[in-house]
Structure 1
Amino acid sequence: MSDQAHKTRRSIVRGCGSYLPERIVANRDLEEIVETSDPWIVQRTGIRERRIAGPEETTSFLGLKAAQAALADAGLEGNDIDLIVCATSTPDFTFPATATQIQMGIGMEHGAAFDIQAVCTGFVYGVSTADKFLQSGSHKRALVIGAETFSRIIDWTDRGTCVLFGDGAGAIVLEASDDEEPGPRGRGVLTTKLRSDGRHREKLYVDGGPGSTKTTGHLRMQGQDVFKFAVSKVIDVVTDAFEEAGVGPDDLDWFVPHQANRRIIEASADKLGIAREKVVITVDRHGNTSAASIPLALDAAKRDGRLKEGDLVMLEAIGGGFTWGSALVRW
């Protein structure tokens, strides 16, 4: 049997990058806007500060900066990419896609670029989508980006939501490789699991849109219901991924969940049997950046030396819709 028969096509991570707006807004700053306090926010969410985009820091601007950082990390240029998938709920325009603005910014003049909308699960959906393109052979290298300016859709008089969210962007470069080992020891995207349930819209949504109110609208959330749903639903997409890949929580090097709330993150890790020292947490510094939170956390872990080539990483998220999903990646 040939050596190639022992190989499999995988989407491997070539590089990652991130970008955060310059302006830092601490919990103390929010005390001047709404009736809240730093201890109250920290106790309930784990958030201490977040970044807020300035007028010129659009979603595509943040996404472009993250994409450029990921390309530099991978040692690639814009025209080496032939697919861009940008996960965002806060696009620059109703159309064209934010991904096409990033495409122009990196100098990519071929291939395809489009947005994907699954709210906070958007980056996991983006990884799964790009992986399918690369596995099919239709494309070679993809930028998967999560970019958000949630501060634009926040009701700054609602203390239940305005303290939670921040702005930012993160990106990874995926490259199709035919030389990876089969099974969980080979590098690349091993499994992705995607779910949604449209019956829960009223629990987390934006009360506007061009097809309904003709306005952007503001984010609305029933916090306790979201908390309960998040902890219960995260379990099935992670355990399904473990079962398919033939691994378990002890095999993980890192658990990189959506950074919504420290209590949700820790409760989920505990239920899954994942040791807390394996959990990457950035919610204290970034707040909830929706689709950007996972790639921001990945880049933070890589830059501080924790995340290394060969590490087994579980990505997981849940967002409005509801949507939820996981991606198991051998870095």
Structure 2
Amino acid sequence: MDITPTPPVSLIDVASYLPGDPIGTDYFARYARSDRMAQNVMFRAPTCRHHIGAGESAVDMAERALTPLIDRHGTATIAGVDILITHTQLPDLPVLGCGADLARRMRMSPQCILDVHNGGCAAFIHMLDLARVILSTNGSARTALIVTVQNSAGQVFTQPDVRPLAQAAVPGDGCGVGLLCKSDRAQILDIECRHRPEFAGDMTAAIDPPRRYWEPGTGQLRIAFTESKITTVFARGNRLVPEVAHAVCDHIGVTSTAVDTFVTNQPNRLFLRNWREALELTPAQHPDTFDDCGNLFGAAIPVTLDIENRAGRIRNGSLVLLAGFAHAGDFAAAAAIRWGAQPPPPGRT
């Protein structure tokens, strides 16, 4: 019996959107209070970040991030995607992700819409993995769109009771998107996803006076940190990202030094330095958008990829390694891609 092999799955393009003008650290400095946490490396503020606009929704951000893909591939290609997977840091409505509303807005009729609520800062890789599995096992599906929206910086971390905290100045808002198809043009070589549910309870939120977030009352939601918890999460993050990155390199038969571009989530400067050194890479090989964008959580990987790609610093045929960890370490993932999404020279399509 003649069996036609399934074509490989490729990430053929990325795009992103950063809302509004850059916001400097002075915005937070005027509200800051004396706080030992401010001296911790986890909370040393970036130079700039972007905040979602008043009245701007997650779907608005996703639509704006998709505009470059529409310009390059045409309205019909984006409207005709078979698989749509989204991750929204702060859903506009309780329970609902933005997938169905985004499909309606873009006049899509996908076979499958998934709103992913886990994956955190590594959500882009998680969605890459899901899209690759679905495309590989669904004979009729040819294309997938993955969308990750970070929109909590300008909505949660600017609340009057939260913005004086050291943590408030670190996050930024943005959206990153990726277009996948069955092709060998920009093949996904390998993906490693590791769930660590034993760490799931270590990320917590708090409101003063205490209440559950949906209950009526005073006080504003914030992420709850203690110094001992920060130390634990920092040690985990230092270990988890290099572990999954090295695992992917082992699977495809290369050493980490063979990687041309290493793109990670962007939580703080010390994580970035430690991860780069663990893989024995130079700063030029490990793009750093932290000072321009802050911590973009799940959107950091695609936004950083898009910035580097548009700048012409990722060549077609180069080996790109993505890696990140989520929350307090309950998920970590890495992916290797043979890059093929370099923008064409000006005047050529």
TM over 0.5: yes
Find the counterpart in structure 2 of residue 29 from structure 1.
27
Question: Going by fraction, where is strand more abundant, 1 or 2?
Answer: 1
- How far apart are residue 244 of structure 1 and its match? 0.6
Find the counterpart in structure 2 of residue 11 from structure 1.
9
- How far apart are residue 199 of structure 1 and its match? 2.8
Find the counterpart in structure 1 of residue 204 from structure 2.
205
TM-score norm. by structure 1 comes to: 0.87
Given the superposition, is the C-alpha separation of residues 43 and 94 from structure 1 closer, same or farther in structure 2, using an over 3 Å criterion?
closer
SS at match of 2:22: strand
Find the counterpart in structure 2 of residue 147 from structure 1.
149
Given the superposition, is the C-alpha separation of residues 262 and 97 from structure 1 closer, same or farther in structure 2, using an over 3 Å criterion?
same
From 217, 220, 224, give the equivalent of 1:220: 224
- How far apart are residue 19 of structure 1 and its match? 0.6
Contact 1:26 1:50 in 2 (8 A): yes
The question of 1:315 aligning with 2:322 is answered yes
The question of 1:173 aligning with 2:179 is answered yes
**Number of positions where the alignment pairs a residue of Structure 1 with one of Structure 2:** 318
The question of 1:94 aligning with 2:94 is answered yes
- How far apart are residue 187 of structure 1 and its match? 3.2
Q: Show structure 1 runs of 5+ residues with no match.
A: 181-185
1:311 is aligned with what amino acid? S
Note the alpha carbon deviations across 1:6-30, whole angstroms, 9 max, x for none.
x862221222111111042211221
The question of 1:261 aligning with 2:264 is answered no
2:135 is aligned with what amino acid? L
- How far apart are residue 294 of structure 1 and its match? 0.5
Q: Distance in 1 between matches of 2:9 and 2:70?
A: 16
Q: Which of 148-157 and 118-127 deviates more?
A: 148-157
Find the counterpart in structure 1 of residue 113 from structure 2.
113
- How far apart are residue 196 of structure 1 and its match? 2.2
Find the counterpart in structure 1 of residue 334 from structure 2.
326
Larger Rg: 2
- How far apart are residue 202 of structure 1 and its match? 5.0
Given the superposition, is the C-alpha separation of residues 43 and 226 from structure 1 closer, same or farther in structure 2, using an over 3 Å criterion?
closer
- How far apart are residue 276 of structure 1 and its match? 2.2
Given the superposition, is the C-alpha separation of residues 89 and 235 from structure 1 closer, same or farther in structure 2, using an over 3 Å criterion?
same
Q: Distance in 1 between matches of 2:196 and 2:311?
A: 37
Note the alpha carbon deviations across 1:236-268, whole angstroms, 9 max, x for none.
111110111111222211000101112101101
Q: Show structure 2 runs of 5+ residues with no match.
A: 340-349
The question of 1:125 aligning with 2:131 is answered no
Note the alpha carbon deviations across 1:214-256, whole angstroms, 9 max, x for none.
2594322343332221011112111110111111222211000
SS at match of 2:62: helix
* Identity between Structure 1 and Structure 2 (%): 20
Q: Distance in 2 between matches of 1:40 and 1:286?
A: 20
- How far apart are residue 149 of structure 1 and its match? 0.7
Contact 1:67 1:143 in 2 (8 A): no
Note the alpha carbon deviations across 1:69-100, whole angstroms, 9 max, x for none.
23333445332211111122211222432111
Given the superposition, is the C-alpha separation of residues 74 and 251 from structure 1 closer, same or farther in structure 2, using an over 3 Å criterion?
farther
1:125 is aligned with what amino acid? H
CA RMSD of aligned residues (A): 2.8
Q: Which of 163-172 and 10-19 deviates more?
A: 10-19
The question of 1:294 aligning with 2:296 is answered no
Q: Distance in 1 between matches of 2:111 and 2:42?
A: 47
Q: Which of 27-36 and 164-173 deviates more?
A: 27-36
Q: Distance in 2 between matches of 1:280 and 1:65?
A: 23
Q: Distance in 1 between matches of 2:250 and 2:256?
A: 11
TM-score norm. by structure 2 comes to: 0.83
Q: Distance in 2 between matches of 1:125 and 1:112?
A: 16
Question: Going by fraction, where is helix more abundant, 1 or 2?
Answer: 1
